[in-house]
Each structure stands twice: as structure tokens, then as C-alpha cells.
């Protein structure tokens, strides 16, 4: 195997991947803060519930049930009012759905879930005491009754499975929105820091001392299994960790930040190159820190590979 431990091209890749890794940590921390501030996971959970139950009045009735209210987040230091839950167990959903659209009659057995479902299917009018299920809920109840027969546990499990399928779609909606937000944050961070991939690669290629320092730091991170600046604790928040990662990037001496030296001097060609370089960084950061840490480890291992020792070549095997 050829010795690539001193290959400048690989060293430049290691430097770029390490930069992407650290800045991805910053983007992820900001992204998590945005998602928590706007309670996005709870919003998409409510969107999934709304897809099932339909009307706003039915959604309000569902969320006002004591089982769901027990999951509501209490007021905190920043958010003074209660916040809707970001997760509802499937069992809680199934029982709450039945209590909302198929409440037990006075004196009737509340554990007879199938009988309650049949009464809900027979409901023709929408009343405050017994809302009429929409077509989605009616279809869900019909399928559960047909599949379960007289097995109450199987009936409830069928409803839970239907809820899980809807929540899988809601999770997909949430992940797509988070990915879009992550890309916009990555683009903003790349523009604010002037993290031009082309300019950084060019500086790493020309500056041997800088390249060696960045590669050494990247190797330390790979060997330790994580970046020191990304460590959090009770005293160090995600925001503090992100700020430490930004400081670590700035200490490298890479061509980051806006100045006369780093700004494009030719409006067209240099400007187009700058825009493309920033977009490359933004797309790279959107891939996430785990992706770049894994790739950084693989390239670092490749860089550290070397030829077999001379004594090992041509050595006869023992019988």
C-alpha cells in the first residue's frame, strides 16, 4: 500500500472536513434552540392529530383530555404558559380517542371498548357529550372492530398501530422542516463567518504550518472520539459549547471573517467564486456533525496508513 501519511491533498481534505465538523456542531446547537423555542415537534404532533380527528373543536377536546393534559410541559423561566406535549404514547392516544368520540354511557362498562366504538359508529349527530367522528376516525374504528372481533387488547393495539403510522408521517414532516431550517442556518453561518470552502482549501494548500496544525488538532479529536468544545454539562449549555467551537475555529488562523483581504476584488469572477464557495460550505454543514466526524475518521485513517515493514516482505510463512 502506498504511504499517504504526508499527502498534502489528503491533509487539505482533513482540514476542510474538520472545519465542517466544528461548524456543523454550531449549526446543530442553533437548530435545536430554534426547534425548542418554537416548539416545532409539538406543532407537528398536533398537525398529525388534526389529520386524524379533523375539526378544531375535536382537536381542542382531544388536547383537553386529562391524559393529554398530564403530558403538557409546565411553565418555565422563558415560557410562562404551558406548552403542548411533543410526544404522546400510542396507548394514551388510543384511550383518549375513545374517550373523546366514544365515551362510556352512564352505568355502562367503560372497559368494553368495542361496544363503545360501535356506539360511536352509530352516532349520527355531533353533540358536545358525544362528538360525531369524522370519516378518518370512523374508518379507523371500523377497521379495528373488524380486525379485533371481541379481543379488546387487539382492538386497542390496532388503533395504536394506526396512530403510529400517522406519527411516522408527522415525523417525516418535522424532519423535512428541520432540514430546511438547518440549511438556512448553515447558509447564514457561512455568510456571516465568510466560510468560503475554496478560500480555506487554498490557504491550507499553500500554508504548510497551518495545514499541519489543523491536521494535528483533527487527529486529536478523532482519537478522543469527540470535540472538546462540543462537551456539555450542567454548567455548560449547548449555546456555550457552540460558542467554544466558533472560538476554536477562529484560533486556527483560517481565512474567515470579512475584511479587505478576504472580500472578492473582482465583482464577477471572484464574486461568483465566493458565492459558490459559501454555498458549498452551507450544503456541507447541512449534512450534520456525525456525517463529517465519521468521514473525518476514515480520511484520517487513510492518511495514517503506510507500507508494510521491510522485514515483513518476502518473509516465508511458518509451516
> pLDDT grade, residue 308 (50/70/90)?
very low
Task: Please tell me whether residue 262 adopts helix, strand or coil conformation.
Answer: coil
Residue 4: CB atoms within 10 Å:
15
77-122 pLDDT per residue, tens: 566 667 888 888 988 888 888 888 877 766 455 677 888 888 778 7
Residue 106's pLDDT is 63
Residue 108's pLDDT is 52
Predicted structure pTM score: 0.76
C-alpha cell at 23: 461548524
DSSP secondary structure letters along 144-198: HHHHHTT-HHHHHHHHHHHHHHHHHHHHHHHHHHHHHHHHHHHHHHHHHHT--HH
Asked if the model's pLDDT at residue 187 lies above 80, the reply is yes
Q: Which residue has the cell 414532516?
A: 173
Asked if the model's pLDDT at residue 5 lies above 60, the reply is no
Asked if the model's pLDDT at residue 266 lies above 80, the reply is no
Residue 125's pLDDT is 67
Instruction: Kindly tell me the burial class for residue 125, based on how many C-beta atoms sit within 10 Å of its own C-beta (0-12, 13-18, 19 or more).
Output: exposed
Out of 26-30, 122-126, 298-302, 305-309, pick the least confident.
305-309
Task: Please tell me whether residue 123 adopts helix, strand or coil conformation.
Answer: coil
Radius of gyration of the chain from Cα atoms? Answer: 29
C-alpha cell at 170: 408527522
111-160 pLDDT per residue, tens: 778 888 887 787 766 666 667 778 888 888 888 888 887 788 888 888 88
Amino acid at each position: 500500500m502506498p504511504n499517504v501519511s504526508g499527502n498534502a491533498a489528503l491533509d487539505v481534505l482533513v482540514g476542510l472536513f474538520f472545519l465542517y465538523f466544528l461548524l456543523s456542531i454550531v449549526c446543530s446547537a442553533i437548530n435545536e434552540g430554534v426547534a425548542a423555542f418554537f416548539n416545532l415537534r409539538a406543532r407537528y404532533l398536533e398537525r398529525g392529530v388534526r389529520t386524524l380527528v379533523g375539526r378544531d373543536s375535536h382537536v381542542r377536546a382531544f388536547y383537553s383530555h386529562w391524559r393529554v393534559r398530564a403530558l403538557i410541559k409546565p411553565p418555565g423561566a422563558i415560557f410562562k404558559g404551558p406548552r403542548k406535549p411533543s410526544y404522546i404514547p400510542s396507548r394514551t392516544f388510543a384511550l383518549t380517542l375513545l374517550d373523546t368520540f366514544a365515551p362510556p354511557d352512564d352505568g355502562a362498562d367503560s372497559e368494553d371498548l368495542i361496544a363503545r366504538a360501535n356506539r360511536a359508529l352509530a352516532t349520527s349527530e355531533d353533540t358536545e357529550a358525544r362528538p360525531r367522528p369524522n370519516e378518518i376516525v370512523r374508518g379507523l374504528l371500523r377497521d379495528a372492530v373488524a380486525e379485533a372481533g371481541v379481543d379488546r387488547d387487539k382492538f386497542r393495539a390496532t388503533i395504536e398501530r394506526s396512530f403510529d403510522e400517522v406519527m411516522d408521517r408527522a415525523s417525516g414532516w418535522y424532519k423535512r422542516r428541520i432540514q430546511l431550517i438547518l440549511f438556512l442556518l448553515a447558509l447564514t453561518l457561512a455568510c456571516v463567518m465568510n466560510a468560503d470552502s475554496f478560500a480555506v482549501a487554498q490557504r491550507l494548500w499553500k500554508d504548510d504550518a497551518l495545514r499541519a496544525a489543523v491536521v494535528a488538532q483533527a487527529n486529536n479529536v478523532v482519537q478522543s472520539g469527540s470535540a472538546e468544545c462540543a462537551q456539555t454539562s450542567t454548567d455548560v449549555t449547548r449555546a456555550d459549547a457552540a460558542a467554544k467551537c466558533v472560538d476554536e475555529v477562529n484560533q486556527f488562523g483560517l481565512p474567515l471573517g470579512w475584511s479587505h483581504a478576504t472580500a472578492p476584488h473582482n465583482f464577477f469572477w471572484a464574486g461568483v467564486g465566493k458565492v459558490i464557495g459559501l454555498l458549498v460550505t452551507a450544503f456541507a454543514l447541512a449534512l450534520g456533525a456525525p456525517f463529517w466526524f465519521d468521514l473525518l475518521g476514515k480520511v484520517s485513517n487513510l492518511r495514517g496508513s503506510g507500507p508494510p515493514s521491510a522485514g515483513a516482505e518476502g518473509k516465508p510463512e511458518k509451516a
